[in-house]
Amino acid sequence: MISKNSILVCALLLVVSPKAFSWGKTGHRVVAEIAQRHLDQASKKGIKDLLGEDDLARIANYPDEIRSDRKYDYTGSWHYASIPNDKTYFDQKRNKDGDVIEALFRMDETLRDPKKSKDDKAFALKFLVHLMGDMHQPLHVGIAEDRGGNTVRVKWFKAESNLHTIWDESVIDFQQLSYTEYTAFLNHYTKDELKEIPKGNFIDWAKESQDLRSVVYDTGGSENLSYEYGFKAKPVIEERLRKAGLRLATVLNNIFKKTKEDKSFVELRQKVKDNI
């Protein structure tokens, strides 16, 4: 029989524990599906060699799903990076277990390494797809004090929630779209966007998320968030999904075409390694 104390502990954990996941299943699949539609032939072949018949949307949530297995606890810190307000990624020593930015550089490097096994590369690909989504969610490049908005208790249409959950899932789920429907709505880019959005690197794209804090935390003083906050957050979330998907495709195309990494990227990756 389950004791009253056990029930109380479980209830408390539900209230105070940080949310384990990110974007929600729909958001991650949207990012992956957009990327899938912008892959070149070399990438499609390389991905099929690693994943078989699974496409990117199928494996997009794998890194969240395996977190129920304790042997993957070491990957927990890969899903986020904590950066104080008005600070940069390099202003403090990073988590020794890695973070979302370091992990993305590492997954990219693993996929490029001819000495890595097929299993290692498949694992790296699954994480690269997922973590590109994570990094584009503003609260996954958050502040440690509130665990990326997890401890900011608010309501969503009068239901108990927290700021992180609203940005991960609530606004997206409120649209009542499947991931393929949402992809169809978002997968439209001008010629300039196709050229400009992929520019930069993991550090640059994480900084974009960090710079969105003023929008995320602007609740208007209300503890019950609903239509007004959702209306403000929705275009920001959708733009982050659009950028994440197109950038993911660009990263994968460069990997599987074996595009040579420029010197500045290699130096930046080493700088990130040295800061862990």
CA dist., res. 61 & res. 219, Å (int): 29
- For residue 55, what pLDDT is reported? 97
CA dist., res. 182 & res. 112, Å (int): 31
- For residue 93, what pLDDT is reported? 86
pLDDT beneath 50: ranges in the chain: 1-20
- For residue 113, what pLDDT is reported? 97
- Residue 21, by phi and psi: left (phi above 0), alpha (psi -120 to 50) or beta? beta
CA dist., res. 243 & res. 256, Å (int): 20
**What pTM did the predictor assign?**
0.92
Q: What angle do CA 14, 16, 18 make, to 5 degrees?
A: 90
Q: Which of 29, 16, 114 is nearest to 64 (CA)?
A: 29
What is the CB-side half-sphere exposure of residue 109 using CA atoms within 13 A?
15
The residues near 203 (Cβ < 8 Å, ≥ 6 apart) are: 89, 101, 268, 272
- For residue 199, what pLDDT is reported? 98
- For residue 21, what pLDDT is reported? 58
- For residue 13, what pLDDT is reported? 36
| 63-91 pLDDT, tens digit each | 999 999 999 999 999 999 999 999 999 99
- For residue 149, what pLDDT is reported? 97
Residues, the chain: 276
Domains and CATH numbers, the chain: 24-274 (1.10.575.10)
Are 223 and 154 spatial neighbours (Cβ–Cβ below 8 Å)? yes
CA dist., res. 65 & res. 20, Å (int): 10
Decide: residue 20, CB within 10 A, 0-12 exposed, 13-18 middle, 19+ buried.
exposed
CA dist., res. 78 & res. 99, Å (int): 4
**DSSP codes, the chain:** ---HHHHHHHHHHHHHSPP---SHHHHHHHHHHHHHTT--HHHHHHHHHHHTT--HHHHTTHHHHGGGSGGGGGGGGGG-EE--TT--GGGSPPPTT--HHHHHHHHHHHHH-TTS-HHHHHHHHHHHHHHHHHHHSGGGEE-GGGTTTTT-EEEETTEEEEHHHIIIIIHHHHT---HHHHHHHH----HHHHHHTT-S-HHHHHHHHHTTHHHHT--TT-SEE-HHHHHHHHHHHHHHHHHHHHHHHHHHHHHHTTPPPPHHHHHHHHHHHHT-
